Structure 1
Amino acid sequence: MEFTRIADSLIRFGAEDGDYMVTRGDDLIVDFADKVKAIRFTSGYRIYIRASVGKRVGFYTSSDLSREGVEEAAKTAVEIAKVSPEDPYWVGAPRGLGLTDVEGIYDSRLAELTPDEAIDMVMSAIEGVSSRPGVRPVRGSLRVGVREYTIGNLNGEEVSRRGTSIFIYISGRAEEPGRSAVYTDFQNSRSLDRVKPYELGREVGLKACEFLDAKTISTGSYDLILDGRVAASIFSVMLSQAVSADAVQKGRSPLAGKIGCKLLFEDVTFVDDGTVPGYVGSRPCDDEGIPVRRNVLFDRGVLKTYLYDTYTANKENRRSTGNAYRSTGGSTAPLPNNLILNPGDYTLEEMIRDTSKGVYALKTIGGWLSNPVSGFLNATVTHGYLISNGSIVGRVKGAVISGDFYQLMNVKVVGLSKELHESMNSYSPHVKFEKVQLSSK
């Protein structure tokens, strides 16, 4: 796609600087339970415009990509800029647009996937759940997406990127007289060959049966092993905003003013890396067209940097780290591309074997109730394993994890597993903590 005419229109209507992003999205969605419920197709364009007149900045978005629509969007963005208050921190739109070579983010097989092929995948997932006696699928969805982005500025620079994604989740319910249990799991990938619907469904059916006898535990101190996916999800909630320079500059991050401080356990190294082949958040450039890169956030527990887009970087006379994401309103803010906790040396089996009294948390809910501004963590274990003397002795539900996230990550971490697990664009090994207070719900 080439949209330099947007820049031409902005200049004609009086913009002195600015940039734009045009997206095209195509989605194939299949909703299902024990059979296919609905098939939907969505397709459309979106224009995001930022225009400036002096230090006055205006934002505008539109879904009308006709010549008249583009003209109107450009005109409106400039008109908004002219009546906006001056922004003393506005320096200018991004310059130096470019692309990093990132592999494994576009799969032509996904882009060309037919509805019949999508339905076959759904039926495989349903079959996998149903292969377990007494379990039936109760809810699920498959979404295949294709995205194209074109990003440019009034300096004549323009770059494009594209990507594919597939996401499938399924819930299975196991029922026996007087009791039932539900288990949900998902797979998420940029390529078709990494998604295994039947295996996903079979695991859901197995776990639903397994947790029929889950029980609450007494409140007390336990060693806690967070499954890699649970840990990744928690880290996304607690750190994505906290490491954003936008949150730091607005006084909404507990990490403000702490560059160079040791805040986490010495074995903990977090990186943001948008260049990893096939990862969910990998991309050649950010939403301002700045090439992505690898950023070390915490190095052996020491906070090294925040993440920046062009605007927040200009405030501190720095350069963007390639982390701009554009909001629905058109403005940008920095967030992680892929948030990654580097793995350690343990296997999960070793973690369990070295635990005398503990809980292995396989699934949690309520993490969104945590407060990344204060650093307060809150989550409830819905599916977990009780560990006694190095062995799993039962299933656990309703255990509440709460407290200071940074204290937990600083003084309670005792081990990281060798392998990484993902939750959307966050990646983590299994993480073991010692002497964590768990409350019975």
Structure 2
Amino acid sequence: MALDREEILSLCEKAVKVAERHGADEAEAYFCQTSRTAVGIERGQLAKSVSHIDQGLGIRAVYNKAVGFAYTNIVAEKTVEETAGKAVNSAKASQPDKDWKGFPDKRCLINVEETFDGKILELSSEELVNLATRMLDTALEMDKRVFVTDGEVESVYAAKALVNSYDVTNFDQGTFASCGLATLARDVNYVTPVCFEWDAKRTFEINPEHVGREAARLAVSALKAETIPTKPYTVVFAQVAMQLLLSYTLINAVKADYVQREQSALKGKIGERIASENVTVFDDGILKGGLRTWRFDDEGMERRRTAVMEKGVLKSFLYDNYRAKKEGVESTGNAYRGGAAPYMEVPAIEATNFRFAPGNKSADELVSEIDSGILVYFLQGAHSSNPVSGEFSVVAVPSWRIEKGEIKNAVKGAMLSGTVFDVLKNVSALANNERQVGALVAPWIRVENVKVIGR
């Protein structure tokens, strides 16, 4: 049964007190509750409707600077007491950490905007089926060559709370609505790569018809792909492509744990220019309507807006409480517990809403200034990029050739290679068509002199 705010906080407070009673010097209780309903699409048909509620409690306990952890998804009083005891026993059996300097103390939290919508809570499975049907039908009506491989419409409610020994008593809740569709097109002897379109919001403002139309349009435009010569090109990275590239390179490079372990090429470069002056990046944990916006991070620190780069100059790394105290600086509020059940995880550093400041040009204007280039929507192989050096070698698929300011035919089998730091230094312009994919909030980004290997 789902718990309300008072019940959740009471449960967390009890867990902390029990851990202290078992001998913990300090303790922390993190509660997470999610309610998810989704309607799936498989092979061009509505496939399934799934509703799921999950909740659980993760407890960290500290004994003599050693940190122990235990969790449970059974939130009965007896189980919580047992879990708190396990966390303390885990700490007593662990080695002390000389760098441990305590959990965060109480902070003032600010209100965030457009992260909760009661309309999403009220959505029924039937209404989600209707949204999925509209999205699917719109795509299939666009062109008979379009085939829908899969898709989904989803509504999510999430609540989280954190209580610790230093009077931190935090609670927040949020909603999410999303729809996405994957398509391909078939014509005679050619099948396109899979193309994808999506819409995700914290409020109920998704547009399934637009997603269906755009997913179909992309697939049809990927027909009749041609090879291109190997040479440096001007490349426009769409949001998904840039998100894939940065997730395994730049975003890791600005995390304080990577820096302190000497696994970041940016160690010691605060105040240096590492990118084009066109590049300004903020990690904005309080972004209005941001997909990763919350009032506090996953160890209770207030969320904030952190300047990572300003006009190409590196300004700050991203910190959680542990890494910040180790370095003698303030946490940036980037502690994060991921996965399907966050209460099962201990915090790690992660970007929130990693936002590239948009430019003034429309997407069409950005493209119109290119004599010879390619537009890249997706990258294959980005996960194999080197997080230390920033080196990458990826397949740009789907992608389209740009000639004399116009988007032309699709490109077959092109590869991009280089380093993410060269990409950042060669950013010549950013469009104003900003949207969010995962942690990344960005427009189309135009980069000069990218090495492209054709077939």
Normalised by the size of structure 1, how large is the TM-score? 0.95
1:209 equivalent in structure 2: 220
User: Per the alignment, in what secondary structure is the counterpart of residue 397 of structure 2?
Assistant: strand
User: Per the alignment, in what secondary structure is the counterpart of residue 222 of structure 2?
Assistant: helix
Query: Structure 2 residue aligned with 1:166, among 144, 154, 177?
Result: 177
Check conservation: 2:105, 2:167, Cα contact below 8 A. no
The reply on whether 1:419 has 2:429 as its aligned counterpart is no
Amino acid paired to 1:191: T
Check conservation: 2:197, 2:211, Cα contact below 8 A. yes
Query: Structure 2 residue aligned with 1:358, among 366, 373, 380?
Result: 373
Distance 1:44 1:389 in 2: 53
User: Per the alignment, in what secondary structure is the counterpart of residue 213 of structure 1?
Assistant: coil
Amino acid paired to 1:71: E
Query: Structure 1 residue aligned with 2:133, among 108, 123, 126?
Result: 123
Distance 1:273 1:20 in 2: 25
Query: Percent of counterpart pairs with the same letter?
Result: 28
Deviates more, 1:35-44 or 1:117-126: 35-44
- 5 Å-filtered alignment, 1:129-168, equals 129-134=139-144, 135-168=146-179
Distance 1:324 1:96 in 2: 16
The reply on whether 1:113 has 2:123 as its aligned counterpart is yes
Deviates more, 1:387-396 or 1:11-20: 387-396
Q: Deviations over 1:379-421 (max 9, x none)?
A: 32112221222233322132111111102211x2211113312
Amino acid paired to 1:366: G
1:262 equivalent in structure 2: 273
2:356 equivalent in structure 1: 341
2:59 equivalent in structure 1: 49
2:403 equivalent in structure 1: 388
1:191 equivalent in structure 2: 203
Amino acid paired to 2:437: S
Residue 159 of structure 1 deviates from its aligned partner by 0.8
Distance 1:232 1:331 in 2: 25
Residue 425 of structure 1 deviates from its aligned partner by 2.2
1:439 equivalent in structure 2: 453
User: Per the alignment, in what secondary structure is the counterpart of residue 248 of structure 2?
Assistant: helix
Residue 74 of structure 1 deviates from its aligned partner by 0.2
Residue 354 of structure 1 deviates from its aligned partner by 1.8
Residue 111 of structure 1 deviates from its aligned partner by 1.5
Check conservation: 2:236, 2:375, Cα contact below 8 A. yes
Residue 378 of structure 1 deviates from its aligned partner by 3.0
Distance 1:207 1:288 in 2: 41
- 5 Å-filtered alignment, 1:281-430, equals 281-326=292-337, 329-410=344-425, 412-430=426-444
Residue 344 of structure 1 deviates from its aligned partner by 1.9
Residue 259 of structure 1 deviates from its aligned partner by 1.2
Check conservation: 1:415, 1:432, Cα contact below 8 A. yes
Deviates more, 1:267-276 or 1:89-98: 89-98
Check conservation: 1:357, 1:389, Cα contact below 8 A. yes
Check conservation: 1:188, 1:424, Cα contact below 8 A. no
Check conservation: 1:97, 1:159, Cα contact below 8 A. no
The reply on whether 1:176 has 2:190 as its aligned counterpart is no
Amino acid paired to 2:399: G
Deviates more, 1:349-358 or 1:262-271: 349-358
Give 5+ residue unaligned stretches, structure 2.
1-7
Residue 158 of structure 1 deviates from its aligned partner by 0.7
User: Per the alignment, in what secondary structure is the counterpart of residue 283 of structure 1?
Assistant: coil
Residue 216 of structure 1 deviates from its aligned partner by 2.3
> Aligned pairs, how many?
439
User: Per the alignment, in what secondary structure is the counterpart of residue 398 of structure 2?
Assistant: strand
Deviates more, 1:75-84 or 1:281-290: 281-290
User: Per the alignment, in what secondary structure is the counterpart of residue 306 of structure 1?
Assistant: coil
The reply on whether 1:15 has 2:24 as its aligned counterpart is yes
Deviates more, 1:197-206 or 1:349-358: 349-358
Distance 1:293 1:280 in 2: 15
Amino acid paired to 2:454: S
Check conservation: 1:229, 1:427, Cα contact below 8 A. no
Deviates more, 1:361-370 or 1:394-403: 361-370
Amino acid paired to 2:259: V
Deviates more, 1:63-72 or 1:248-257: 248-257
User: Per the alignment, in what secondary structure is the counterpart of residue 26 of structure 1?
Assistant: strand
Distance 1:348 1:249 in 2: 39
Q: Deviations over 1:227-284 (max 9, x none)?
A: 2442244233322221111111122222112111111111211110111111111111
Check conservation: 2:168, 2:300, Cα contact below 8 A. no
User: Per the alignment, in what secondary structure is the counterpart of residue 60 of structure 2?
Assistant: strand
Residue 367 of structure 1 deviates from its aligned partner by 2.0
Q: Deviations over 1:111-137 (max 9, x none)?
A: 221000010011011111111231232
Distance 1:300 1:46 in 2: 43
Check conservation: 2:33, 2:159, Cα contact below 8 A. yes
Q: Deviations over 1:82-138 (max 9, x none)?
A: 010010001111112442210111111112210000100110111111112312322
Check conservation: 1:172, 1:204, Cα contact below 8 A. yes
Distance 1:12 1:354 in 2: 68
Check conservation: 2:179, 2:211, Cα contact below 8 A. no
Residue 349 of structure 1 deviates from its aligned partner by 2.2
Check conservation: 2:20, 2:27, Cα contact below 8 A. no
Distance 1:391 1:321 in 2: 42
